[in-house]
């Protein structure tokens, strides 16, 4: 009887190659054709409406209803001309990727007639059924309903015949229920704070925006393999499976054309992304077998976050067309490199200057150092909050688990800049002095070469590394929404820059210091104060764990512990002070994340129990029966000497029984532990119980299942094996 594994393989072998439309079109002609961008707006809108949208985008100005009606009408005409039939307010709820509720433009107007309608009201605000989205108890407390509101800074786009309007999602009482709202506030905060500081160097600067380039890692496996694995289907990762023997690969004849298929997938992904205005660059990633990366060019951070969320969605859909399962989980395969989402972050002015790019002159470099050192100081002061911003059940498999970046947050800046900071720190010892000579320090400041991109040593183990003209936050999980870590980075750097300006201004005013002396003096103190966050060595090493502990850096290895940093008085003060979130919002968000952790582990525990009980144990029993029959037969032939002849079979029978006994006993124990944990009312304590009392069973149960996988006849094993899923060409 064929097993699931082979049934699904047959299905895959029939697949037809997918034809990619627009394959030969010029990429530049495809770029943004499905986006309601400035060009489309200019073509379809009155000048008044266009300027109004620009003001809303660039200056955050409100738009009046009449203009909104005009914009809506232009948007509708454009969308209809592109074949759209529906529209939706597209947003990013606190769990899951993106959400949308589609409404048709079509409306009956009586007399058996109908027309396409869409007005300013429908553009600006909508009411999805908020009850189905997580709100951390906010709505229950306030009896509030939620609504979505247009975010004009991210352009509308058409995806699969639906006009998607990027929106925020808030409760009627004003609390944010999504990822975008606090991000937008943080981006406003960094604009204000960084612009004020950038004016020290150039009065023409009147806007600073955060830039973000997201490198998205993912795995591709044949969807037939995923079909044979309930764990992948339901949890996004393999809960069991023995690692493939080294260098072992599945015979080519099963999937001879896999690399062509991957290329076809990537091409289509690239084309779809480009049409939606996502500046995609695809390429192969060689870290792990069947692991790839897509790194679009950087954009303004809000747009880049939207584009990354959208891209994850597109990847899944295009994967289906190509019979691929796209695995965005941080650790789909034990013992194989996991996936991250590197967030490349910098600050750019309206005058076109990258504030984290070293310049040609000492003055430019003082500007660079200002933003560089302030960022390091911010990371230093809020390292625990940064760690919390990337905490999730799935990212726990990377962070703190001997895997790319550790759970300890540190900053890598490379040898050259380390030397610069070390020298600067030594310029004067002791008190700040207005009489200080500027020559020496400008010398040092002047020494930073303009382009350092190529001479920064790449330290792949660092969670937060300076890479020549930007910081690269590498610890973000592959399936995370970048809004959260970006909200944190921009908020803490905004606060830091604000504090910096206050200190510098005070020195200028009270100590009659020259501006760059004042700047320099404050920076020097920051360099000293934030030194412990800098680390250039091997982030995976045990030595670093010890050293970091000595330095007093946090090492929060699990999500429940890491998340606590979100609700400390220090964090709440930061969010309230910077006008990002209220205490209620911060606490609600924290509860949602803790709850999500519990839910994920709960699902994993159930799925693992099911697979072990319903797939592994029965298969083991079946194989054991074959062995028993075999021994019985040997006994019939050889009589009493069968014990010697069937020695190995009998050992195998015994060992299979041992594994089965262990597995069943542990599943029973795990179920008991879950029952207990489920009774806990306090969500934090419940998460702790799941982390400490339930999660440890996963590896133990897996151990025995994986041993059985090695012992049992390959033909009987019901789940696709690692070597099949990973080692395909
Ligand atoms: P690497 O693999 O060396 O880290 P990649 O080219 O894969 O480099 O990715 C680098 C990412 O950093 C790209 O998305 C790129 O657009 C982005 N990036 C480059 N400059 C900036 C910047 N100033 N701000 C934000 N992101 C940037
Ligand atoms: Mg990178």
pLDDT in tens, 342-364: 999 999 999 999 999 987 777 67
Q: Is residue 557 located within the same domain as residue 604? A: no
pLDDT confidence bin for 3, thresholds 50/70/90: very low
Q: Rounded to the nearest whole angstrom, what is the distance from the C-alpha of residue 330 to the centroid of ligand 1?
A: 20
Choose one of 300, 470, 474, 485 to mutate for the ligand 1 pocket test, by most ligand atoms within 8 angstroms of C-beta: 470
Q: Which residues pair with 168 in a beta bridge?
A: 149
User: Taking CB atoms and a 6 Å cutoff, what residues make up the pocket around ligand 1?
Assistant: 211-213, 215, 295-298, 344-346, 354, 469-470
- DSSP class of 612: I
Q: Which ligand is nearest to the CA of 453?
A: 1
Q: Which ligand is nearest to the CA of 356?
A: 1
The pLDDT value given to residue 458? 66
Name the domain boundary from 527, 558, 581. Answer: 581
Choose one of 212, 214, 215 to mutate for the ligand 1 pocket test, by most ligand atoms within 8 angstroms of C-beta: 215
Residue-wise pLDDT tens digits, 700-717 = 999 999 999 999 999 999
Name which of 111-125, 198-212, 230-244 the model is least confident about: 111-125
Q: Which residues pair with 102 in a beta bridge?
A: 88
* Better pLDDT: 443 or 365: 365
CA distance 517 to 52: 43
Q: Which residues pair with 677 in a beta bridge?
A: none
**What is the bridge-based pairing of β-strands 464-466 and 411-412?**
parallel
Closest by Cα among 367, 372, 417 to 519: 367
Atom of ligand 1 nearest to the CA of 295: 14
Q: Is residue 202 located within the same domain as residue 168? A: no
For residue 378, give every residue at least 6 positions away whose Cβ sits within 8 Å of its Cβ, in sequence order, or none.
489, 492, 493, 495, 496
Name which of 99-108, 494-503, 624-633, 639-648 the model is least confident about: 99-108
CA distance 607 to 664: 14
Atom of ligand 1 nearest to the CA of 296: 14
Residue 41 lies in a domain: yes
Q: Rounded to the nearest whole angstrom, what is the distance from the C-alpha of residue 467 to the centroid of ligand 2?
A: 9
Q: Is residue 526 located within the same domain as residue 456? A: yes
pLDDT confidence bin for 313, thresholds 50/70/90: very high
Choose one of 213, 353, 466 to mutate for the ligand 1 pocket test, by most ligand atoms within 8 angstroms of C-beta: 213
The pLDDT value given to residue 284? 60
Residue-wise pLDDT tens digits, 60-115 = 777 888 888 999 999 999 999 999 999 999 998 887 678 777 888 888 888 888 88
Residue 648 lies in a domain: yes
Q: Rounded to the nearest whole angstrom, what is the distance from the C-alpha of residue 444 to the centroid of ligand 1?
A: 27
Residue 17 lies in a domain: no
Residue with tokens 């951390």: 136
Q: Rounded to the nearest whole angstrom, what is the distance from the C-alpha of residue 477 to the centroid of ligand 2?
A: 13
CATH of the domain at 216: 3.30.590.10
CA distance 32 to 23: 16
Q: Is residue 235 located within the same domain as residue 372? A: yes
Residue 110 lies in a domain: yes
Q: Is residue 111 located within the same domain as residue 46? A: yes
Residue 15 lies in a domain: no
Q: Rounded to the nearest whole angstrom, what is the distance from the C-alpha of residue 343 to the centroid of ligand 1?
A: 8
Q: Is residue 524 located within the same domain as residue 390? A: yes
Atom of ligand 1 nearest to the CA of 213: 14
The pair phi, psi for residue 334, each rounded to 5°, is -65, 145
CATH of the domain at 636: 1.20.120.1560
Closest by Cα among 405, 533, 413 to 466: 413
Q: Is residue 107 located within the same domain as residue 197? A: no
CA distances from 33 to 77, 81, 154, 157, 303 (A): 15, 12, 15, 9, 17
Choose one of 287, 295, 476 to mutate for the ligand 1 pocket test, by most ligand atoms within 8 angstroms of C-beta: 295
Choose one of 190, 344, 412 to mutate for the ligand 1 pocket test, by most ligand atoms within 8 angstroms of C-beta: 344
Residue 591 lies in a domain: no
Q: Rounded to the nearest whole angstrom, what is the distance from the C-alpha of residue 471 to the centroid of ligand 1?
A: 9
Q: Is residue 561 located within the same domain as residue 523? A: yes
Residue-wise pLDDT tens digits, 130-174 = 555 566 655 454 444 678 888 988 999 999 899 999 999 888 888
What value does the mean pLDDT take over residues 434-444? 56
The pLDDT value given to residue 7? 44
Q: Does 607 have pLDDT greater than 50? A: yes
Q: Is residue 99 located within the same domain as residue 143? A: yes
Residue with tokens 């003001």: 55
**Domains identified in the chain, total number:** 3
The pLDDT value given to residue 332? 96
Crossing angle for the helix pair 483-510 and 569-577, nearest 10 degrees?
Answer: 80
Q: Is residue 211 located within the same domain as residue 105? A: no
C-beta atoms surrounding 144 within 10 Å: 18
Name the domain boundary from 581, 613, 647. Answer: 581
**What is the bridge-based pairing of β-strands 86-90 and 162-171?**
parallel
Q: Does 325 have pLDDT greater than 60? A: yes
The pLDDT value given to residue 134? 61
Name the domain boundary from 552, 581, 610. Answer: 581
Q: Which ligand is nearest to the CA of 307?
A: 1
Q: Rounded to the nearest whole angstrom, what is the distance from the C-alpha of residue 539 to the centroid of ligand 1?
A: 22
Give one DSSP letter per residue of 439-485, joined into a string.
HHHHHHHHTS-S--TTTSPP-TT-SEEE-SSSEEE--SBTTS-THHH
CATH of the domain at 140: 3.10.20.70
Q: Rounded to the nearest whole angstrom, what is the distance from the C-alpha of residue 476 to the centroid of ligand 2?
A: 12
Q: Is residue 669 located within the same domain as residue 709? A: yes
Closest by Cα among 667, 719, 675 to 698: 667
What value does the mean pLDDT take over residues 497-523? 93
Note whether 694 and 601 are within 8 A (CB): yes
CA distance 317 to 681: 38
For residue 134, give every residue at least 6 positions away whose Cβ sits within 8 Å of its Cβ, in sequence order, or none.
93, 94, 95, 177, 592, 595, 596
Q: Is residue 711 located within the same domain as residue 565? A: no
Q: Does 15 have pLDDT greater than 60? A: no
Closest by Cα among 157, 141, 140, 186 to 87: 157
Q: Which ligand is nearest to the CA of 308?
A: 1
Q: Which ligand is nearest to the CA of 286?
A: 1
Give one DSSP letter per residue of 567-611, joined into a string.
GSHHHHHHHHHTTS--HHHHHHHHHHHHHHHHHHHHHHHHHHHHI
Atom of ligand 1 nearest to the CA of 345: 25
CA distance 403 to 400: 7
The pLDDT value given to residue 638? 92
What value does the mean pLDDT take over residues 413-418? 89
Residue 485 lies in a domain: yes
Q: Does 437 have pLDDT greater than 60? A: no
Atom 3 in ligand 1: residue holding the nearest Cα: 467
Atom 14 in ligand 1: residue holding the nearest Cα: 213
CA distances from 320 to 224, 267, 268, 317 (A): 11, 14, 12, 5
CA distance 293 to 287: 10
Name which of 415-419, 585-589, 623-627 the model is least confident about: 415-419
Domain that holds residue 228: 188-581
Say whether 89 sits in a helix, a strand or coil. Answer: strand
Q: Rounded to the nearest whole angstrom, what is the distance from the C-alpha of residue 344 to the centroid of ligand 1?
A: 6
Q: Does 431 have pLDDT greater than 50? A: no
Residue 321 lies in a domain: yes
The pLDDT value given to residue 438? 52
Q: Rounded to the nearest whole angstrom, what is the distance from the C-alpha of residue 328 to the centroid of ligand 1?
A: 20
């Amino acid at each position: 009887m064929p097993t699931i594994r082979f049934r699904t393989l047959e299905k895959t072998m029939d697949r037809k190659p997918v034809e990619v439309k627009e394959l030969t079109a010029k990429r530049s002609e495809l770029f943004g054709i499905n986006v309601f961008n400035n060009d489309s707006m200019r073509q379809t809108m009155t000048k008044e409406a266009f300027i109004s949208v620009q003001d809303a985008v660039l200056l955050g100005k409100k738009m009046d209803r009449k203009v909104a009606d005009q914009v809506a009408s232009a948007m509708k005409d454009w969308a209809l001309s592109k074949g759209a039939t529906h529209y939706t307010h597209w947003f990013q709820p606190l769990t899951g990727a993106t959400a949308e509720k589609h409404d048709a433009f079509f409306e009956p107007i009586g007399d058996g007639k109908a027309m396409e309608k869409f007005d300013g009201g429908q553009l600006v605000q909508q009411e999805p059924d908020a009850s189905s989205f997580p709100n951390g108890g906010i709505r229950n407390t306030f009896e509030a309903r939620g609504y979505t509101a247009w975010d004009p800074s991210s352009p509308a786009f058409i995806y699969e015949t639906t006009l998607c309007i990027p929106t925020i999602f808030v409760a009627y009482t004003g609390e944010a229920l999504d990822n975008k709202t606090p991000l937008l506030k943080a981006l406003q905060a960094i604009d204000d704070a960084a612009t004020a500081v950038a004016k020290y160097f150039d009065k023409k600067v009147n806007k600073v925006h955060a830039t973000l380039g997201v490198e998205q890692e993912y795995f591709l496996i044949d969807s037939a393999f995923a079909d044979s694995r309930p764990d992948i289907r339901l949890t996004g990762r393999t809960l069991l499976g023995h690692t493939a023997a080294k260098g072992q690969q599945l015979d080519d004849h099963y999937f001879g054309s896999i690399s062509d298929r991957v290329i076809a997938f990537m091409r289509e992904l690239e084309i779809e992304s480009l049409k939606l205005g996502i500046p995609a660059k695809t390429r192969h990633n060689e870290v792990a077998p069947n692991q790839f990366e897509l790194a679009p060019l950087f954009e303004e951070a809000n747009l880049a976050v939207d584009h990354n969320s959208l891209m994850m969605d597109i990847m899944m859909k295009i994967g289906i067309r190509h019979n691929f399962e796209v695995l965005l989980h941080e650790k789909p395969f034990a013992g194989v490199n996991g996936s991250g989402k590197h967030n490349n972050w910098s600050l750019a002015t309206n005058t076109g200057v990258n504030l984290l790019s070293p310049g040609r002159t000492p003055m430019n470099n003082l500007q660079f150092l200002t933003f560089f050192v302030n960022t390091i100081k911010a990371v230093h002061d809020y390292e625990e909050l940064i760690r919390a911003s990337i905490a999730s059940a799935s990212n726990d498999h990377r962070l703190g688990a001997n895997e790319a970046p550790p759970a300890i947050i540190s900053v890598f800046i490379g040898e050259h800049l380390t030397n610069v900071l070390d020298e600067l720190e030594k310029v004067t010892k002791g008190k700040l002095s207005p009489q200080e000579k500027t020559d020496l320090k400008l010398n040092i400041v002047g020494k930073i070469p303009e382009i350092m991109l190529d001479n920064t040593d790449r330290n792949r183990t660092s969670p937060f590394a300076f890479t020549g003209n930007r910081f690269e936050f590498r610890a973000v999980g592959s399936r995370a929404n970048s809004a959260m870590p970006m909200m944190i980075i921009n908020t803490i750097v905004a606060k830091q820059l604000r504090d910096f300006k206050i200190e510098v201004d005070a020195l200028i005013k009270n100590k009659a210091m020259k501006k760059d002396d004042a700047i320099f003096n404050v920076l020097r103190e920051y360099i000293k104060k934030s030194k412990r966050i800098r680390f250039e060595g091997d982030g995976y090493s045990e030595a670093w764990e010890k050293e970091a502990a000595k330095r007093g850096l946090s090492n929060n290895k699990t999500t429940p512990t890491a998340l606590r940093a979100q609700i400390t008085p220090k964090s709440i003060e930061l969010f309230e002070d910077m006008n990002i979130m209220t205490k209620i919002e911060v606490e609600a968000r924290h509860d949602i994340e803790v709850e999500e952790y519990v839910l994920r582990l709960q699902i994993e525990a159930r799925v693992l129990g099911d697979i072990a009980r319903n797939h592994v144990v029965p298969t083991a029993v079946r194989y054991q029966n074959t062995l028993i029959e075999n021994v019985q037969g040997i006994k019939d032939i050889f009589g009493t000497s069968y014990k010697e002849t069937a020695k190995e079979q009998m050992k195998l029978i015994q060992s299979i029984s041992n594994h089965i006994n262990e597995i069943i006993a542990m599943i029973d124990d795990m179920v008991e532990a879950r029952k207990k944990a489920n009774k806990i009312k306090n969500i934090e304590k419940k998460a702790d119980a799941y982390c400490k009392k339930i999660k440890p069973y996963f590896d133990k149960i897996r151990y025995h299942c994986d041993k059985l996988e090695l012992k049992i006849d390959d033909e009987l094993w019901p789940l696709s094996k690692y070597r099949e899923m990973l080692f395909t060409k």
